[in-house]
Structure 1
Amino acid sequence: MTVQATHRGAATVGYVQDLPPLERDAVLYLRLWCDGPDAQARVWTAFAASLGPEAGRPALKALENLCMLCLRHGRRPMARHGVACKCLGADEACFANFVGYASEGSTEDALLLATTLVRPDMGYQVVGLAQEFGLALRRMVLRSQDPPRRVPLSVTLH
């Protein structure tokens, strides 16, 4: 049996580059967090650089707790691809979408997706953490975009 046949959560369902920025970042930070201490340090550096140390700490804690709960209370082991892999796995797609829904305040949709990854009794807890993490990602995405250009209301030619 192949790895994909035994771990359906790793099945490729798309490409990370095709995700919207918030969901793409959710997958990247999930992968980094699960990759060990050196990669976790990279997450902290990114959060602190974008949000500042004071706002970055709670965002990092939300990600840490979210990953811990997903891994400890999963319905089965969560499958993921390597940090640099361009493929998007089924579990990663589910994670990205549930973080996206949570950050929008769509609690019922987030809960529905969360319970495909974790036990139902952990659903509301992981959705709360996903909302906190997702809102931090939303701020980071907004800060990374170019500032809007000011368009003058009128122009004087002569």
Structure 2
Amino acid sequence: MSELPPVELAAILYLRHWFSGNQEQVWDDFSKAFDRADAAVAMASFEDLMRAVQHNARRPLMRHSLDCECFGGDECAFAQLVSAATGGDEHDAMTFALHLFDGVQAKCAIGAAAMCGHAFFSMASRPAYSHTPTHPTSPLKH
């Protein structure tokens, strides 16, 4: 995963953290990167996106383990959705969103993905930010 740009890397790692029960780690990272108000906005956006993934995805997204160095198709589509939405590329964002959600839910997910991606980008742009959000991954495979 070390080859991924920071926004895509954060998208995958925070997706894994969230669905591994490590929601507090996501909040901790946001609160370290932003003041309390901005951290709360970033967390609310991420919670919205995770609710969409949990309740509105076409099917459960397949994820690798938290420590896995590789990533799968669903994780890649999710990361590309966040990246495209962040960059304002509506066509690509919709393409990736439709892989994960139906039409109506896809449009809603794009907005939340863009907000999350902007937070990830802002975190990555800060001098104190390490390339890997939260805890570094181990060399374990799956």
Q: Give the aligned residue type for 1:32.
A: H
Structure with more contact order per residue of length (Cα contacts < 8 Å, sep ≥ 6): 2
Which of 83, 88, 94 is the matching residue for 1:100? 83
Give the Cα separation in 1 of the matches to 2:104 and 2:54: 14
State whether residues 28 and 83 of structure 1, in contact with CA within 8 Å, keep that contact through their aligned partners in structure 2.
yes
TM-score by length of 1: 0.78
Which has the larger Rg?
1
Matches within 5 A, 1:81-120: 81-120=64-103
TM superposition shift of 1:144: 3.9
CA deviations 1:53-85 (Å, max 9, x no partner) are 110111111111101112211111111011111
User: What code does the residue aligned with 2:4 have?
Assistant: L
Return the alpha-carbon distance in structure 2 between the equivalents of residues 118 and 145 of structure 1: 35
Name the structure with the higher strand share.
Answer: 1
Instruction: Give ranges in structure 1 of 5+ residues lacking alignment.
Output: 1-15, 147-158
2:14 pairs with 1:22: no
Report if the CA contact (8 A) 1:33-1:64 is conserved: no
1:46 alignment counterpart: 29
Alignment of 1:9-158 (within 5 A): 16-36=1-21, 39-144=22-127
User: Which residue of 1 is the match for residue 140 of structure 2?
Assistant: none
**What percentage of residue pairs aligned between the two structures are identical?**
33
Off by >6 Å, runs of 4+ in structure 1: none
Equivalent residue letter for 2:7: L
Q: TM-score, normalising length from structure 2?
A: 0.86
Counterpart Cα distance in 2 of 1:99 and 1:85: 20
Q: In the comparison of the two structures, how many residue pairs are matched?
A: 129
